[in-house]
Amino acid sequence: MNWDSIQTWAMTPGGIAVWLTLLFGLFFGSLLINVDRRIRLGREAALIALLAAVASASRVLFAALPNVQPVTLFILMIGLHLGARRATAVAMLTALLSNMALGHGPWTFYQAIAWAAVGTSSAILRPLLVNWDGTKVRILPLALLAFVWGFLFDWIVSLSALAIYQSFEAFLTFIIAGLIFDAMHAVGNVLFTIWLAPSLHQLLWLHRRHEAGRWYPDLPMDTIERETRMAESRAEAYRQEEPLAGVERLDGGE
């Protein structure tokens, strides 16, 4: 095997699928390792857990409707508020958790990658998706992005088919066969955006609000002043209790 044969193989359908998978895997894997090292607070770990639990529970809840589930919207909102790294973590945990109920397979890996890409996109497009101070989410651009991801998500997951069948024709058949499901996913995403996005936005703001507290090394000035006044008045009271305090005795005794 030489470099030319590797190059030739890399341009075949199977080769493209493999290097794309590797590229995505390495990129999002590095994000995962990074977020794992950055978690210092239990609350951060728990927030990621909560979002993954809510997302996977809702996916299982809507399992009866093919491809209609709010996970894509969840990940979009998480990317928007908490950034690409945490969205990647939630994406992976959601794929793992929900497939514990729905069944694991090669798609678990591709779903994790696709949702991580969803979160990354909303993190990058954040200026377009929220108002100037980040207090309100813009429903229209978000719904549009969610609609687009309804199709893109399923095509990324279909990469597994390209890797298995090693032919563009089979891959295209796979994509065309799934178009109805993709459309259902996209329309479902738009509906979920209208219904759930405002309350999710409020929830993530609530979380941020809890992080607003800080530890200052010094006591506040009014407390110090109050303490000083109290100490002075105590000392004053002590002096008043002992009228002879400070008077030097002539015989030198104590």
Using CB under 8 A, list all residues that contact other proteins: 32-33, 35-37, 39-50, 52-54, 56-57, 63-64, 66, 89, 92-93, 96-97, 99-100, 102-105, 173, 176-178, 180, 195-196, 199-200, 202-203, 206-207, 209-220, 223
Nearest distance, CB of residue 29 and other proteins, angstroms: 10
**Both structure tokens of 153:** 């998500």
**Of 155, 202, 200, nearest to 174 (Cα)?**
155
Burial bucket for residue 26 (CB in 10 Å: 0-12, 13-18, 19+):
exposed
Q: How far is CA 85 from CA 70, 121, 194, 199, 208, in A?
A: 20, 11, 25, 22, 17
Nearest distance, CB of residue 139 and other proteins, angstroms: 16
| Cβ proximity to other proteins, 113 vs 200, nearer residue | 200
| Cβ proximity to other proteins, 144 vs 175, nearer residue | 175
Length of the chain, in residues: 254
| Cβ proximity to other proteins, 88 vs 189, nearer residue | 88
| Cβ proximity to other proteins, 7 vs 195, nearer residue | 195
| Cβ proximity to other proteins, 100 vs 128, nearer residue | 100
How remote is the C-alpha of 249 from its chain's centroid? Answer: 77
90, 51 Cβ separation under 8 angstroms: yes
Nearest distance, CB of residue 250 and other proteins, angstroms: 41
Nearest distance, CB of residue 249 and other proteins, angstroms: 36
Phi, psi values for residue 133, rounded to 5°: -105, 10
Nearest distance, CB of residue 205 and other proteins, angstroms: 10
Nearest distance, CB of residue 133 and other proteins, angstroms: 18
| Cβ proximity to other proteins, 20 vs 50, nearer residue | 50
